[in-house]
Amino acid sequence: MAVVQLGSCGGCQLSLLDLGERFLEIMESYSMEYFLMIKEADAPPEVDIALVEGTVRHARHLAMARMTRERASLLVALGTCSVFGGVQGLCNAHGEGRWEESLSRAGAGEDIPMFTRRVMPLDAYVSVDFRLPGCPVPAELLWSFLQQVGEGGRPARETATVCTECPRTGRGEGGGPHRFIEEDSRPGTCFLEQGYLCMGPLTRDGCASRCPGSWDYPCRGCRGPSDGALAFQQLDPLRESLRRLSRSTGEKEEKVVELFMDAPQAFFMFSLAEPTFRGRRRGGTSGLVFRI
Ligand code: SF4
Ligand code: SF4
């Protein structure tokens, strides 16, 4: 196995280490040939499986992604940055000049590799065999994935939404709209129904709905769009979320949208780089992306 990092925070690699003793159990089936978090090495060698975390943000990332693809029998896009572009996709809401200016202000030296014009998922550059989104990827999901692949299986991907795993229910109580979670948010009641933006209806399942289910916080969409959200051409996450919030609160969509001063961050924090959304309805994603 090789674990490779492109442009990312390292959180999904930590999910692997987060498995604790189970990580050591996994290492009884795999030999770890490249994982810079735990041992030094020059480059990934030929391996059966490579877990690739992060986005291709510049020329060095691209070279690493291509080299890994050539040397790995199975390539897994690990985490939402790799699968959907992740939070780096928010760069697509700005022109190139903006971030070049930021780099220069931050004192970046001469040795800056050539940047990509915009952020795109890893499969825009190399072919990908499996996708494991999540920010970070849930450790339990990674565990069962590696077990199944280690036994020669082909794990099925999750296709439904966070709502299908969520224990919260509608109770016809209404309220909101609210911009942030307030102290009197009602446990057990669906966040959308209470007038909070919850991305659960559009987000891929597989995390056991950990935010609304265990942490009393609405889903931010970190597992990226569900299959339905990707396939249904009329659906734009921004328009759809506003429609649902408007229906649950009785407020007009124009009024609801005023709450969200930074629409890319609120509605597309993890998926603005997803090409499927770019061409959708006027006034939705396409209006947020600087270069289409
Ligand atoms: S909208 Fe959010 S709170 Fe409501 S059921 Fe879906 S995931 Fe749970
Ligand atoms: S509930 Fe939503 S934001 Fe929370 S872990 Fe799951 S997909 Fe990510």
| 71 and 21, same domain (yes or no) | yes
Which residue of 165, 169, 191, 196 sits with most ligand 1 atoms within 8 Å of its CB, as the best mutation to test the pocket?
191
Domain of 53: which CATH number?
3.40.50.700
Token couple for 156? 């099925």
| 63 and 9, same domain (yes or no) | yes
Count of structural domains, the chain: 2
**What integer pLDDT is reported at residue 148 of this predicted model?**
93
Q: Is the pLDDT of residue 115 over 90?
A: no
Per-position DSSP letters for 203-236, written without gaps between them? BB--STTIIIIISS-----TT-B-HHHHH-TT--
| 22 and 139, same domain (yes or no) | yes
Distance 140 CA to ligand 2 centre (A): 14
254 found inside a domain: yes
| 18 and 128, same domain (yes or no) | yes
Residue 107: CB partners within 8 Å, gap ≥ 6?
A: none
Of the ranges 185-189, 210-214, 226-230, 279-283, which is most confident? 210-214
Do 291 and 285 meet the contact criterion of CB atoms below 8 Å apart? no
Domain that holds residue 169: 162-271
Indicate whether residue 219 lines ligand 1 (CB < 6 A): yes
| 141 and 166, same domain (yes or no) | no
Q: What's the whole-number mean pLDDT along residues 272-290?
A: 76
**Residue (of 69, 68, 11) closest to 41 by Cα position:** 68
Do 221 and 203 meet the contact criterion of CB atoms below 8 Å apart? yes
Amino acid at site 154: R
Indicate whether residue 198 lines ligand 1 (CB < 6 A): yes
> Which of 108 and 245 is assigned the larger pLDDT?
245
| 53 and 128, same domain (yes or no) | yes
Indicate whether residue 161 lines ligand 2 (CB < 6 A): no
| 26 and 145, same domain (yes or no) | yes
Confidence of residue 279 (pLDDT cuts 50, 70, 90): confident
| 146 and 6, same domain (yes or no) | yes
Indicate whether residue 72 lines ligand 2 (CB < 6 A): no
Q: Is the pLDDT of residue 99 over 80?
A: no
Distance 201 CA to ligand 2 centre (A): 11
| 142 and 26, same domain (yes or no) | yes
| 69 and 18, same domain (yes or no) | yes
75 found inside a domain: yes
284 found inside a domain: no
292 found inside a domain: no
Residue 247: CB partners within 8 Å, gap ≥ 6?
A: none
77 found inside a domain: yes
| 124 and 210, same domain (yes or no) | no
95 found inside a domain: no
Neighbours of 210 (CB within 10 A): 18
110 found inside a domain: no
Neighbours of 234 (CB within 10 A): 8
Which residue of 165, 190, 207, 216 sits with most ligand 1 atoms within 8 Å of its CB, as the best mutation to test the pocket?
190
Indicate whether residue 203 lines ligand 2 (CB < 6 A): yes
| 58 and 187, same domain (yes or no) | no
Read off the pLDDT of residues 40-93 as tens digits, 9 standing for 90 and up. 999 999 999 999 999 999 999 999 999 999 999 999 999 999 999 999 999 888
280 found inside a domain: no
Mean residue pLDDT of the chain comes to 90
**What integer pLDDT is reported at residue 291 of this predicted model?**
42
- Measured by CA distance, the residue closest to atom 4 of ligand 2 is 211
